[in-house]
Structure 1
């Protein structure tokens, strides 16, 4: 049998070409910004991302995550090559021109098998009609792919849209900022999402983003009172779900918040609720995998990570950390090392990765490599604290955390 992605792909950054899924498969590229103003790129990117989000809600489709499809933004790469790298048959490309209160969206759906255009259209509308444009465009793509929608998916696009386009633009800018994952960008993203809520108080997606930024403050120790940040994030995520239970973003934020509050069963439940709404959501598959690792079920976590890698072939480095954590929990220290080293090739500044690497080598009796990795972790973060990690990492079974410390003890690095 062929290896699963988690076995085959710990050693390389390059995506392994996959066979096509049985269901129609599509990658939505970043739409070109034709507005003549580079500052408007957030808007064309946001429209592309929303189309991905809408299509991701359809269980009848296989939709590649933004993280992978946006790699080809402004790149001179032929559509068949993109399709082959991402493992899809269809590619959607397009452009957005925003001028005053008018917007023009053009899009074409290409069959990478023969390079033919399956569908193309142009939408010239008032800016306030941008949500109708997105809905029409998505429905026309579904029709062009000859997808028969069933049950809940008959109206996958209902709800979740703000009334005021100004709130939408603020949220798009907020998402762009927060995606940088730095302390300042996180705060800037939150401020923009809060401005969106000031215009549209019931904008659930904006509440979900604000919630997520507070949880990130807790995880990264970015706020003066991290525990309060987590409580605030949890409350705002609950509010987002209550406002729009049919939108996956709130469930994702609530799943992550509950996990860090050690409510691991609720974290898994919220991830499953979100995945029922958006089965192609990599964020939700990864949130579920993370909760499963902390719950002591690394095999189930690996299954979720395999799905994530198929949907996001150019997956984020954090996925490699989750992969390493799951293999470590299974006692597969050599495989965990492969995943950590792959992460460190992409981000050599992660003290978390070096600390786990030190423990893996300690368990394997590699004392020199263990010491080198541990010293590097402490160089990157002189305040690296095992007691703090023991306190905040929400392992259901304390021995799962202690196994990480035991690797350091075996190498003589800690008492």
Structure 2
């Protein structure tokens, strides 16, 4: 649960207080739209206006796990907004950022803060477990490198994926016993190949298999490794082994960053939609802010099972959250097209093609390993009708 305190006005201008209040209220509204995140109402949060209380006191009184506070300062047409997310129990700063923008950019700032909070809360969960779970580390330098890698990893761009790989590799050097650093370095290879960034998909998947085999042979058997193993079997086309490995991964526990979403990916591509929905919903119930991967995969399986209204809402949320990921457009176009909202599907695909003019149906199909080829054919038909060329 999150409490958004009234942002402080740092400029003694008559209308500045109204502006700061408006920013706080709009953030409450924007954050309330994020699935899996409970945001306390304005009435609850604004009761602490002009009161000398700490974030932990506010959290304790309101029952909030996190508190967002900040300040606003303007000068002419320039605006500075600072925001910080605080752990309601420990008082530790989970995330902080400063935004120097034009006054006209205030709405973009709201979106940036909302996205950053979801990411920060997701990272915070992994950090809290890092030194205490199998595969973790107790060395600060390794933890810091891994933490930076996570932040880069979850933006889903090609450049940041490679940056995450370098940071995970550094964490593994700093602590050779830090198994998860090795596992998530391999995950970046999987992500690179799966997302179409790779120039040699086979080599990237081979690296995943090599890491899994090496760690398994050394006696490692963590949930993170099992989830990676499952999706690697999927991309290698061994569907039965992928399913059994995914089932074992769910029993073993959640992946550090993705919950049980990797297992859900296997279930979706193997046509086991009910199993996928079950593990995705369980992931949503178990975290304070739903991971982006969970939103994406729940959108896809919702379209495939005919829950079109939910699919469109989820696809819109994913596109809004992860603006650098081309799957934001393709998922929304498919969700709208499958629902019969043809004009919206075509509009979305038109926007997509302006950004990715060389992208073709064959590019999309290359990264969609459905066990039943008829499923992929039906998706491609929807995408073709929306305007994605062969």
Q: TM-score, normalised by structure 1?
A: 0.58
**Higher mean C-alpha displacement, 242-251 vs 168-177:** 168-177
Instruction: Identify if the C-alpha distance between structure 1 residues 210 and 367 changes in structure 2 by more than 3 Å, giving closer, same or farther.
Output: closer
Match of 1:330 among 305, 310, 328: 305
Structure 1 CA distance, aligned partners of 2:136 and 2:353?
Answer: 46
Residue 172 of structure 1, CA deviation: 4.6
Q: Distance in 1 between matches of 2:65 and 2:211?
A: 38
Per-residue CA shift, 1:252-284, capped at 9, x if unaligned? 222232233233333333333333333586724
Query: Residue 304 of structure 1: CA displacement?
Result: 1.0
Change (3 A) 1:84 1:321: same
291, 294, 311: which is aligned to 1:319? 294
Match of residue 368, structure 2, among 367, 384, 393:
393
RMSD: 3.8
Q: Does 1:13 align with 2:59?
A: no
Aligned match of 1:115: none
Partner of 1:346: 321
> 2 CA distance for matches of 1:158 and 1:330?
36
Question: How far, CA to CA, are the matches of 2:364 and 2:250 in structure 1?
Answer: 29
SS of the counterpart of 2:290? coil
- Larger RCO (CA within 8 A; separation ≥ 6): 1
How far does residue 377 in structure 1 lie from its aligned partner after superposition? 1.8
User: 2 CA distance for matches of 1:78 and 1:163?
Assistant: 29
* Alpha carbons 2:59, 2:88 under 8 Å: kept: no
Partner of 2:64: 82
After superposition, the C-alpha distances for 1:203-243 in whole angstroms (9 at most, x for unaligned) are: 42222122112112212333432321121122113323333
Task: Report the counterpart of residue 93 of structure 1 in structure 2.
Answer: 90
* Structure 1 residue 95, shift from structure 2 partner: 5.4
Residues 1:307 and 2:278 are matched in the alignment: no
| 2:357 aligned counterpart, secondary structure | coil
Are 1:214 and 2:189 counterparts? yes
The alignment status of 1:255 with 2:230, answered yes or no, reads yes
Aligned partners of 1:227, 1:350: CA distance in 2, in Å?
A: 22
CA contact (8 A) 2:195 2:367 kept: no
Number of positions where the alignment pairs a residue of Structure 1 with one of Structure 2: 290
Which of 307, 325, 332 is residue 357 of structure 1 equivalent to? 332
Q: Does 1:240 align with 2:224?
A: no
Bigger mean CA offset, 303-312 vs 167-176: 167-176
Q: 2:206 aligns with which of 210, 228, 231?
A: 231
CA deviation string 1:311-348 (max 9, x = no partner): 12421333222111101111333332222123233345
Partners of 1:219 and 1:75 in 2: how far apart?
42
TM-score (norm 2): 0.62
Deviations 1:61-108 (A, max 9, x none): xxxxxxxxxxxxx999514442499xxxx9753659xxxxxxxxxxxx
Question: Do the aligned partners of residues 248 and 91 (structure 1) sit closer, same or farther apart at CA in structure 2, a change above 3 Å counting?
Answer: farther
Unaligned stretches of 5+ in structure 2? Answer: 1-31, 40-54, 68-86, 94-127
Shift of 1:398: 0.9
Does 1:296 find its partner at 2:271? yes
